Structure 1
Amino acid sequence: MTTKNEIQALLRFLSQDAKIPLPTAMGNIKELQNASLTSVDSLAKSNLPSLQAIFTEEKLAKQVLNTAKRITKKRTSDHISNESPAKRKKVTSAEDPLDPSGIEASLALPESNANEEELRSKILHTNRAPLVLAFAVTLLKYTMPSQPLSSRLSLAQAVVSVNSRTKAVSLGIEKGNSAEEDGWGQGQPKIRIMGRDIRVMKRWGYEWKGKSEEAVGKEKGSESLNSQNTLKQEDESGDEPALWGLDLEALRSSNGPVLSGAHGANGSGLPIYTAQSARAYLLKSFASAPSSSSDEVSPKKKKKSLATLKDEKEKNLALLLQALDLLYDSWAHVLARDELDRRAWAWYVAVRPDVEHGVAGWGGKGEVKLEQILNLRRKG
């Protein structure tokens, strides 16, 4: 049984030493416990395939393994060398080296045209953080339709991170002020998503194609950032730039600049929540709920291959996003965007999986019934 102190130490290692985003670290705690990988020593003795099965992304698995080995090797020393600023900047750079249209195409999320009967019958097995991510990224199609998918994924991941840290503090897993409370990111614009204040950076010059989604909810007016660094609504969309969600905790860890200009320095090394990591988190997080039928526990039942499980999770994500799309679309024409944003959190709370209270439920998984999401749609 992993103790509260062991969980705290593991989360500190993953988020502070291995530089894994806190929501990603939280979402993998249970799997690490199941694999008996709950200490730096056990992680250092593990291998890349085992860690990649948990973290999905090879880059994240390598970060965990290499950091664990480095700390274990240098434990007798009085001080552990920090990763060089140049290397850290390379990992978290907000610059886009690829063609924008190619970037957006590579981030496409799975889609579904399932009928309502199929949606209603589907029950997913997941933990809470990726469900918040799915709610947020779909919400932003309606509240910030001029933003490209890369921005929506980044902003949604920022919401998950802020929410996760708030929960961690309430459980005593994290202590002290947040980076935002300590003044990191001052001068950067701030927007509100699902009741969370998010510091953002404008992606000046990012010209992406395929803005067909801008038409969603257009009659409600478009949003832009005003000179007071808040979100406002205007009658015309103007030239609102794409946005990145800033990772203030990573900024504090890297000892970067506390105060940046109101418009930033065109992505000059400020750490962001990457769209690729958010997408990978969504793709791996929604398994099918275990069947109660007897053959599910039969020893003769063939175990699903990793490829089969991967395809199943992607299909489940598509069904979830379709259900959320139907929910938001039913309200988008009658609610102002700020009201739609306010209601989104309550809708999430109404359908989130039940987990144990306190630290025992940290990263715990439960059922999400798509029927409950569909039942939240506006009647008539």
Structure 2
Amino acid sequence: MPCPILGSPTQASSKMSTKSELQALLRFLSQDAKVPLPIAMGKVKELQKADLTSPETLAKSDLGTVQAIFPDDKLAKQVLNAAKRVTKKRTLGDANPVSPAKRKKTSFTEESLSPAVVEDTLALPEVKVDEDELRSTVLHTNRAPLVLAFAVTLLKYTMPFQPLSSRLSLAQAVVSVNSRAKAVSLGMEKGKSAEDDGWGQGQPKIRIMGRDIRVMKRWGYEWKGKAEKPEIKTEDVQPGDSQDTLKQENQAGDEPALWGLDLEALRSSNGPLVSGAQGAHASGLPIYNAQSARAYLLKAFASPTLSTEESSLNKKSPANLKAEKERNLALLLQALDLLYSSWAYVLGREELDKRAWAWYVAVRPDVEHGVAGWGGKGEVELNQILDLRRNG
């Protein structure tokens, strides 16, 4: 059977090459540069526009060029250094993976700071405005950070005794697991997930927004008094529930803080998974970094793009753009709080968790279907979130 016409042979080859380049670029960013997969997805188009689609082209660029795409200085240096390292190894013909010892450096550690200070440094922006202002607010973003915002706010109600550092880590785990599933469905990732491959065995598992997340207990992390504890409807623990132990501890208020485990990073480093490990630093287990999740949220919610003429007349400084994005995040979090709090008094935690994904789907930005929409941005109207609240 003849192949469908794709244009000239050069065009067909170009399309194939673009897809394979995209897969290779995502593998480099998520595995070698240790960029969280949702962030990597959101940066692919910018990297393609800048013709930085491989470790080799990235290695030849300078820090300023990379920072234009990855504004976080630490992340930009991480990407540039990884590109140089990978390029050097390829030049020397060294196919050995990055050693586990080097990978451990990317894990979040709290040794040098007290828990109170750690939690304070992770505080998310807050604002209290009237409903009319919320309803008139429209945000320009992609889907991954919106999932993150939905999840981190949800956990205030379903796991109220968890500190913010844990909620950010767990929410980022949800985003990453969801992003990988989407990448598999689009043919951009292949093979079993690390979870399906058995890398999570021996660690507790919880369910958030329909995704199973492997966690690690942070024994000895005393943050008591810092956690938010909204009043919510409690449920009786049913025998056989996979989350019995965690729910009983959570309801009693003595649940240990949790980290979301990054199983994909663990498999990449070929590191051992030790059941009952005391913490990310002690065990070397890769976790989803709360600081990275917070930084992602702060930069993800822009205002809708103005026309070229309006943009030239209302050009904003980097500082003003940063402040605008942070305020937009605060407005989004306020709208989500209003949504969850309206249902939290009548729904149990499990039911609230189940509904959260449907609520996200109802308001997420529209993007192109398939690979073309990967990392694409669209508009989120806060009035749609407010309309999901329970009446009465």
Tell me the equivalent position of 2:339: 327
- Match of residue 264, structure 1, among 272, 277, 288: 277
1:240 corresponds, among 238, 241, 255, to 255
Alignment-mate amino acid for residue 151 of structure 2: A
How many percent of aligned residue pairs carry the same amino acid? Answer: 71
Counterpart position of 2:356: 344
Alignment partner of 1:309 out of 321, 329, 334: 321
Contact kept, 8 Å, 2:166 with 2:290, in 1: the verdict is: yes
* Aligned mates of 2:367, 2:218 — CA distance in 1: 38
* Residues 147 and 232 (structure 1), Cα distance of their counterparts in 2 relative to 1, 3 Å cut: closer
> Partners of 1:22 and 1:34 in 2: how far apart?
19
The alpha carbon displacement at 1:50 in A equals: 2.4
CA contact (8 A) 1:71 1:80 kept: no
Residues 240/252 of structure 1: CA separation in 2 closer, same or farther (3 Å cut): same
- 1:364 maps to which residue? 376
Pair 236,344 (structure 1): closer, same or farther in 2 beyond 3 Å: closer
- Please give the residue correspondences for 1:44-59 in structure 2 after superposition, counting only pairs within 5 Å: 44-59=59-74
In 1, Cα distance between equivalents of 2:81 and 2:375: 24
SS at match of 1:125: strand
Q: Does 1:296 align with 2:315?
A: no
Q: Specify the SS of the correspondent of 1:191.
A: strand
From 80, 85, 93, the equivalent of 1:65 is: 80
Q: Please say which of residues 231-240 and 363-372 is displaced more in the overlay.
A: 231-240
In 1, Cα distance between equivalents of 2:203 and 2:137: 41
1:186 aligns with 2:201: yes
What are the within-5 Å matches in structure 2 for residues 97-136 of structure 1? 97-136=112-151
Are the equivalent residues in 2 in contact too, given 1:190–1:231 (CA < 8 A)?
no
Alignment deviations for residues 270-292 of structure 1 (CA, whole Å, 9 cap, x no partner) = 10001000000000100001246
How far apart in 1 are the matches of 2:286 and 2:109?
A: 7
Question: For the Cα contact (< 8 Å) 2:216–2:259, is it kept in 1?
Answer: yes
Change (3 A) 1:308 1:238: closer
Q: Equivalent residue for 1:152?
A: 167
**Structure 1 residue 25 displacement after superposition:** 0.8
Shift in Å, 1:91: 2.2
| Cα deviations by residue, 1:197-250 (Å, 9 ceiling, x for unpaired) | 000000001011434522x13542599xx9966565449414210000000001
Partner residue, 2:5: none
Closer/same/farther in 2, CA of residues 210 and 31 from structure 1, 3 Å limit: farther
Superposed CA deviations along residues 62-95 of structure 1, whole A, max 9, x for unmatched, are 1111121222233233324433322222321555
Question: Residues 353 and 368 of structure 1 are in contact (CA less than 8 Å); yes or no, is this contact kept in structure 2?
Answer: yes
The alignment partner of 1:126 has SS state of strand
Residue 298 of structure 2 is aligned to residue 286 of structure 1: no
Judge which range, 244-253 or 35-44, deviates more: 35-44
2:231 partner letter: G
Task: Between 7-16 and 338-347, report the one with greater CA deviation.
Answer: 7-16
Query: Residue 107 of structure 2: which of 92, 99, 113 is its match?
Result: 92
Q: Give the superposition deviation at 1:148.
A: 0.2
Query: Which letter maps to 1:350?
Result: A
How far residue 24 of structure 1 moved from its aligned partner, in angstroms, is 1.6
Provide the C-alpha distance between the structure 2 equivalents of 1:233 and 1:85, rounded to a whole number of angstroms. 34
RMSD, matched Cα: 2.3
User: Are 1:190 and 1:230, in contact at CA under 8 Å, matched by a contact in 2?
Assistant: no
- Aligned position for 2:152: 137
Alpha-carbon shift at residue 341 of structure 1 (Å) = 0.2
Q: Secondary structure at the match of 1:368?
A: strand
Distance 1:97 1:88 in 2: 20
CA 1:340–1:96 in structure 2 vs 1: closer, same or farther (change >3 Å)? farther
Give the distance between the partners of 2:355 and 2:252, measured in 1 at CA: 24
Between the aligned partners of 2:204 and 2:348, the Cα distance in structure 1 is 22
2:391 equivalent in structure 1 = 379
Distance in 2 between the 1:317 and 1:222 partners?
35
What amino acid is the match of 1:36? D
CA distance, structure 2, for counterparts of residue 236 and residue 303 of structure 1: 50
8 Å CA contact 2:233, 2:344 repeated in 1:
no
Matched, 1:34 2:16: no
C-alpha separation in 2, matches of 1:44 and 1:54: 14
Between the aligned partners of 1:78 and 1:328, the Cα distance in structure 2 is 54
Moved over 4 A (4+): 226-232
Q: Does 2:214 correspond to 1:199?
A: yes
Report Cα offsets for 1:123-152 as digits up to 9, x if no partner.
100000000000000000000000000000
The residue number in structure 1 matching 2:187 is 172
User: What is the TM-score with the length of structure 1 in the denominator?
Assistant: 0.92
**Offset, 1:60:** 1.3
Distance 1:229-1:350 versus aligned 2 partners, 3 A rule: closer
What is the deviation of 1:19?
A: 1.6
Give 1:275's aligned amino acid. A
Given that 1:128 and 1:363 are in contact with CA atoms closer than 8 Å, whether structure 2 keeps it comes out as: yes
